[in-house]
Structure 1
Amino acid sequence: MNQQGTLSQQVEAYHNWKKELIRQIGRYRLWLQDNNLFSDDVSTRIRHGLELLIEDELTIAFVGEYSRGKTELINALFFSEYGQRMLPSQAGRTTMCPTELFFDRSANQNYLLLLPIETRNGDLSLQQLRKQPERWVKHELDERDPEIMREVLAEVARVKSVPPEEARKLGFDEDMLEHDRNNPGNVLVPAWRNAQISIRHPLFERGLRILDTPGLNALGSEPELTISMLPRAHAVIFVLSADTGVTASDMTIWKEHIDTQHADHRAGRFAVLNKIDVLWDDLQGERHTNEAIERVRGYTADHLGMRQHDVIPVSAKQGLVARVRKDSDLFDRSNIGQLEQLIIQRILMHKEQLITQSLINDLLGMLQNSQAAMQYRLESLEEELQACAGVTMDKAALGRLAERAQKDYDFYYKKLITLRSSRRLMDSQGELLKKLVSEDRFEAHAERVRNSMSKSWTTAGMNRAMDQFFELLESDLTNLLSEGHLAEKMVGAIYRRYNEDNRARHLEPIPLRAGRHVIAIRELRKKARRFRISPKNLLTEQSVLVRRFFNVMVGEARTLHARVRHDVERWPSEALLPIMQYSMEQKQLLEHQIRRLRDMVRNDKDSRTERLRLTNTISDLRKQLELADAMQRQIRKPAPTLIQQKVVNISGAV
């Protein structure tokens, strides 16, 4: 049995694929510089692509009611090499607070950060508190001593005894909390609000992030978890227990926090039916066991309204034991391998597709522009070589070539002047767009709603104020969409005029895509409506409700607004980049050609010397085009999971 497992291998392959893309982008940058085709605009575009690859992460959220084995599953998938359970996982409630697992590549160290539960009484959201390291309790993690590391990580599960009224202030439903047997009248609450574990693990080093969530009570008491953290996960693995099936609280989590319209989860939502070892029946045999598992699997799929093959039966406990003991038969029976395959084939593949859509297509477009410019240079040089084919140079032919090159140069020079004028127009249009989504405008809306909520004496008034905030934001983004359409029409007209001339390569404009932000704010407004009608919030004291609304809903809106601003600030300068790049490259090439042709006409060099020089230049240019072709082939190389699928399909066909 492969201890690292195919998941590690495939994430490594995914990482290497990204590394190769980064290398090819670096090669392209050098290639542009070597061929005098580099510009600030192209540099900016390349830098954005590199940032996308370097900062790329994949977040998988493990969600489920307590005692379903979420943490045990994480132990089995990621920590078996330590030979023990690294994360606290035993009977009862263990994951008491949302726990994020990753590797901090900037700090390059292992650590455990814990945020005290008392921070819920403050005015700061989790997102804001992440920027205040002094508010967190930090523990170093020494990977050389797994036993000590396990003891430190056990702190994540620590609880504290508090009176019920304090638990209510912290946002908990006391009816769903355990009573403290040692302190009658008190209840047990998590000691920590959030845990962040940076641990050097091959998968985490490659950008994988895991979100381990607590049960229903904790999910409901940390709105930021359900409003932003869970919906932003690329994929959700919903963990159920084979011995209980789908319970009422399981369905509540599924309906209220996972199977919602506003969630991202573009890589998928999957159910894991854990603890199938309770169905193993050695007396009645394997067939009886498999039939029992399939029955529970079908029942689970029906209840959740999902396809049966998206429900994976596993035994996390036996999978962990199998990996520690290197027992391949037990590992196969635990079915952990099938879950790993699902993560590979569905979740990783989705990330690869995103990179292909958002980066590779753009990069290929840039490279093809550059190749077209270089091809034009090659054709011009071959014409010059023709003019030098005789014993003496055909200066008349060279003169005609110089004249044509000058006309082409004038064409692109004028195009660039027009484009720079268009860019100034775009910049002024961009300023208008920026004003619609400026940070000051957002904060003014937030302050307005804060005042309205603080002055309101009724629930209806509070609700109106909260809804008004999103109404203002939606209005701004709708105006942005409208103005953005006008700006896109203007850009489209610029491209059409540019493409009308047969000397120009047909190029497509980069769209603003403001519509997705309008959809996002509307979805957030729906979440806000659910937030308003939540019984917990309806019964909450006014000042606490205002704070909670700002921490959660306004905080999430602020994050969304920042993304909108980022897009709006970039788009005006990027919209014309393809034609700017192509025109600049052509102009630079033509400058060199005109200078060279005029030099050839003026100087009395013999045609043999010029032929030799041109032949060498053409040879070098062809090598440069071959390099560009090689880069294009490398960039077009299928992503690892796609290659694997092709192999599987071929082997299946045989």
Structure 2
Amino acid sequence: MGPSFNEQFDQFGAWRRGFAQQLNALREWLAGQDLLDAAVQERLQRLEAQVRSDKVMVAFVAEFSRGKSELINAIFFAQYGRRLMPASAGRTTMCPAELGWDAEHPPGLRLLPIDTRESPESLGQWRMRGEAWMHHPLDVSNAQQIADTLTKVAEVRKVTVEQARAWGFWHDEDGADNPQRDAHGLVEVPRWRHALINMPHPLLKQGLVILDTPGLNAVGAEPELTVNLIPQAHAVVFVLAADTGVTKSDLSIWRDHVLAQDPVPADAGQGMGAQAASRLVVLNKIDTLWDSLSSGPQVQAQLRRQREDSAQMLGVAVERVLPVSAQKGLVAKVSDNQPLLQASGLPAFENMLAHGIMGQRQRVLQAAVAANVQQLRQEVERVLNIRRRDLDDQMAELQSLRGKNATVIASMRSRIETEQREFERSTAKIQALRTVHMRMLKALFHQLSSGSLKRELGELKDALEQRGLKLGARKVYAETFERLHIVAERAHSQAADIQAMMSATYKELNAESGFSLQMPPPLLLPDFTDDLRRIEASYTQYLGLGQVLKLSNAAFSQRLIKALAMRLRTVFESAANDVDLWSKSVTAPLDAQLKERKRSFSRRLEAVDRIQHAATGLEERIAEIETSDTQLTAMQTQLACAAAQLLSPLKEYAPASSVPLDITLVA
């Protein structure tokens, strides 16, 4: 059946560590060969950061009591021999919980009090205020202590209806989903707004992040969760209960908080959009269908109907609805009961997670790495080719001096000095080019600055923060994104102007000063445009008529605009980083040729002087150039080998394209 999710992630972690080590060795080699220019250095740094810091987030989304936490226990923490995440009957995960590992902080549980919802500050802003969180240490060698500490995420408190309404847990327009009042008229709400669990678990240390979300009532009250965290997850596991199928609240979560994140039209005949490949549906608690009165075939038929019905209601392929018993799977792993483990359906789900979702994430990262390694190799080879052309020119020049007298040699020295003076005069033109380039680049960065984004969001911020009903907010929202798309178009236009200016100057330098500069590539920002469209689609759900009353809550509206601003700021910063790398790659060939030509003039003059003062100087210099040419060939071979080593592990860890679903029921 292939490696499980845990094994697949271990393999991926091994590849990332090996890649980082090879990249560091390549950097040292390039520095030793004087090949580490600004563009190459930037490319190396981005590659290393991309591989070392790459996170894989798996979000578990469901209504209450569907078994999300038990599924997390069964997949990730069975080796502890017990449950770590609280998973009992009723509502357990009352607040969103993120599990990850940050080596800069000790193992522990951090909890943000629910009272912070009274503040307009976003969840992202609260993350940077450590003093606002309650801290509880975790003893990683004591599973009981970990489990006892993590029960705190299920803590609740009793508040008035007015307070619950202010925090987003009570909605007058939809009483069916409101919490029950007790004899004193109080209602139960989560004690904590968000939980961060920092554990040095092997998978978490390798970059896995697990997001465990609460039910519909809690999810809908936290816009940053539904429009930032869930959409950015690389995998979304939607959990249903096998005995109930798709309920009304399940369907609400699916439509409003899962499907709403995919603005791409569904593929014909697939029923799923571009992001749907990263979504799995788990039909949990299939053991509730096992009883002594039903035969194996009867249970399988019932499961098949539930899968088909669920797939139809959710609009997904039936193959992506997997029947599982998380509880039996956990018991089977702890007791090493292989027949029960197979019956639980957990191995089939883990394989789908590993080879489908994890495999897709790995392929995306590996494709990006392969493209960057190829570009890195091309940038280094560009410098090596400049050196080779210089050696060829020097060789032809020196061979022409064989048998010549001192007058001819002196004449050549004079010609070299004339070329050097002409080259130095061209540096004034290059300096003017740099000045214009920096001015145009500054204007481009201004388009992508936080100040520019803040101005574009100003009208929407005012519309959402006004008192009362916000019936015109959706129109303002659409107009805001029209302007943001214009910003993206303007950025591409300004980059095209820079490219045209650099191309014209490169042609002039090639014609007048003997440079061999190639035309710079165009700037491409596909992620910038796609991310804007995706964000626009994910927030639209909060601006319809059905959300008018929720939007009238000032605190909710403020959290919504702050969450939107934070997510857009990340996209703008990423685009600015791409522009910076592109700009360095555009100017790097010019910098490289300036450096190599200065060195060439020095060597040519030095060679002529040696020839003038020693009869053997000419042949010695020709021999040196031949040796240098051989060294260049060896360097190109070494570079090719280094690039191949960086890319070869990709094939070794490439996941299988598909894994069959194989579930055998235990009578």
Aligned-partner Cα distance in 1 for 2:87–2:422: 71
Cα pair distance change 1:301/1:364, threshold 3 Å: same
One-letter identity of the residue aligned with 1:225: L
Residue 581 in structure 1 maps to residue 588 in structure 2? yes
Partner residue in 1 for 2:648: 637
Post-superposition offset of 1:334: 1.9
One-letter identity of the residue aligned with 2:585: P
Q: Choose which of 65, 68, 93 in structure 1 pairs with 2:66.
A: 68
Cα pair distance change 1:597/1:521, threshold 3 Å: closer
Aligned-partner Cα distance in 2 for 1:361–1:412: 35
Aligned-partner Cα distance in 2 for 1:372–1:80: 52
Cα pair distance change 1:622/1:537, threshold 3 Å: same
Is residue 156–residue 195 contact of structure 1 (8 Å, CA) maintained in 2?
yes
Post-superposition offset of 1:21: 3.0
Aligned-partner Cα distance in 1 for 2:618–2:432: 44
Partner residue in 2 for 1:276: 286
Aligned-partner Cα distance in 2 for 1:454–1:647: 49
Residue 485 in structure 1 maps to residue 483 in structure 2? no
Percentage of matched positions with identical amino acids: 27
Post-superposition offset of 1:330: 2.0
Task: Report 1:191-210 matches (<5 A).
Answer: 191-210=191-210
Task: Report 1:605-624 matches (<5 A).
Answer: 605=616, 609-610=620-621, 613-614=624-625, 616-624=627-635
One-letter identity of the residue aligned with 2:84: M
TM-score normalised to structure 1 length: 0.85
Residue 171 in structure 1 maps to residue 168 in structure 2? yes
Aligned-pair RMSD on alpha carbons?
A: 3.9
Cα pair distance change 1:417/1:340, threshold 3 Å: farther
Is residue 303–residue 323 contact of structure 2 (8 Å, CA) maintained in 1?
yes
Post-superposition offset of 1:164: 2.1
Q: Choose which of 131, 145, 157 in structure 2 pairs with 1:134.
A: 131
Post-superposition offset of 1:323: 1.1
Partner residue in 2 for 1:339: 349
Is residue 40–residue 380 contact of structure 2 (8 Å, CA) maintained in 1?
no
Cα pair distance change 1:283/1:419, threshold 3 Å: farther
Q: Choose which of 16, 24, 28 in structure 1 pairs with 2:26.
A: 28
Post-superposition offset of 1:579: 4.0
Cα pair distance change 1:415/1:319, threshold 3 Å: farther
Task: Choose 44-53 or 261-270, whichever is displaced more.
Answer: 261-270
TM-score normalised to structure 2 length: 0.83
Partner residue in 2 for 1:563: 571
Task: Choose 426-435 or 438-447, whichever is displaced more.
Answer: 438-447
Partner residue in 1 for 2:270: none
Residue 292 in structure 1 maps to residue 292 in structure 2? no
Task: Report 1:115-194 matches (<5 A).
Answer: 115-173=112-170, 175=175, 176-179=177-180, 183-194=183-194
Cα pair distance change 1:401/1:621, threshold 3 Å: farther
Is residue 20–residue 51 contact of structure 2 (8 Å, CA) maintained in 1?
yes
Task: Choose 225-234 or 90-99, whichever is displaced more.
Answer: 225-234
One-letter identity of the residue aligned with 1:428: R
3-state SS, counterpart of residue 110 of structure 2: strand
Instruction: Give per-residue Cα distances to partners, 1:427-482, cap 9 Å, x unaligned.
Output: 322333444454345545666666666665x52xx343675366346425514523
Cα pair distance change 1:525/1:446, threshold 3 Å: same
Task: Choose 98-107 or 344-353, whichever is displaced more.
Answer: 344-353
One-letter identity of the residue aligned with 1:130: R
Is residue 240–residue 271 contact of structure 1 (8 Å, CA) maintained in 2?
yes
Aligned-partner Cα distance in 2 for 1:395–1:325: 93
3-state SS, counterpart of residue 169 of structure 2: coil
Post-superposition offset of 1:67: 1.2
Is residue 415–residue 583 contact of structure 1 (8 Å, CA) maintained in 2?
no
Post-superposition offset of 1:122: 1.8
Residue 432 in structure 1 maps to residue 443 in structure 2? yes
Partner residue in 1 for 2:374: 364
Task: Choose 501-510 or 195-204, whichever is displaced more.
Answer: 501-510
3-state SS, counterpart of residue 240 of structure 2: strand
Is residue 478–residue 518 contact of structure 1 (8 Å, CA) maintained in 2?
no
Cα pair distance change 1:50/1:120, threshold 3 Å: same
Cα pair distance change 1:209/1:405, threshold 3 Å: farther
Is residue 96–residue 211 contact of structure 2 (8 Å, CA) maintained in 1?
yes
3-state SS, counterpart of residue 113 of structure 1: strand
Task: Report 1:387-402 matches (<5 A).
Answer: none
Aligned-partner Cα distance in 2 for 1:283–1:463: 56
Cα pair distance change 1:165/1:217, threshold 3 Å: same
Is residue 474–residue 521 contact of structure 1 (8 Å, CA) maintained in 2?
no
Cα pair distance change 1:357/1:473, threshold 3 Å: same
Aligned-partner Cα distance in 1 for 2:323–2:405: 80
Is residue 240–residue 246 contact of structure 2 (8 Å, CA) maintained in 1?
yes
Aligned-partner Cα distance in 1 for 2:85–2:241: 19
3-state SS, counterpart of residue 91 of structure 1: coil
Cα pair distance change 1:89/1:534, threshold 3 Å: farther
Aligned-partner Cα distance in 2 for 1:153–1:641: 38
Aligned-partner Cα distance in 2 for 1:398–1:381: 19
Aligned-partner Cα distance in 2 for 1:612–1:384: 12
Residue 595 in structure 1 maps to residue 589 in structure 2? no
Task: Choose 326-335 or 440-449, whichever is displaced more.
Answer: 440-449
Instruction: Give per-residue Cα distances to partners, 1:386-412, cap 9 Å, x unaligned.
Output: 888999788999999999999999999
Is residue 267–residue 351 contact of structure 1 (8 Å, CA) maintained in 2?
no
Is residue 528–residue 575 contact of structure 2 (8 Å, CA) maintained in 1?
no
Post-superposition offset of 1:517: 4.3
Q: Choose which of 334, 339, 346 in structure 2 pairs with 1:324.
A: 334
Cα pair distance change 1:35/1:240, threshold 3 Å: same
Q: Choose which of 329, 353, 362 in structure 2 pairs with 1:352.
A: 362
Cα pair distance change 1:78/1:647, threshold 3 Å: closer
Partner residue in 2 for 1:509: 521
One-letter identity of the residue aligned with 2:191: A
Aligned-partner Cα distance in 1 for 2:112–2:651: 38
Partner residue in 2 for 1:652: none
Is residue 114–residue 193 contact of structure 2 (8 Å, CA) maintained in 1?
yes
Cα pair distance change 1:381/1:504, threshold 3 Å: closer
Post-superposition offset of 1:617: 3.5
Aligned-partner Cα distance in 1 for 2:112–2:58: 21
Post-superposition offset of 1:56: 1.4
Task: Choose 365-374 or 577-586, whichever is displaced more.
Answer: 577-586
Cα pair distance change 1:589/1:299, threshold 3 Å: same
Post-superposition offset of 1:371: 1.9
Residue 55 in structure 1 maps to residue 53 in structure 2? yes
3-state SS, counterpart of residue 62 of structure 1: strand
Cα pair distance change 1:384/1:505, threshold 3 Å: closer
One-letter identity of the residue aligned with 1:241: A
Residue 78 in structure 1 maps to residue 88 in structure 2? no
Post-superposition offset of 1:81: 0.9
3-state SS, counterpart of residue 260 of structure 1: helix
Is residue 66–residue 239 contact of structure 2 (8 Å, CA) maintained in 1?
yes
Aligned-partner Cα distance in 2 for 1:192–1:534: 30
Cα pair distance change 1:648/1:81, threshold 3 Å: closer
Partner residue in 1 for 2:90: 92
Is residue 445–residue 469 contact of structure 1 (8 Å, CA) maintained in 2?
no
3-state SS, counterpart of residue 541 of structure 2: helix
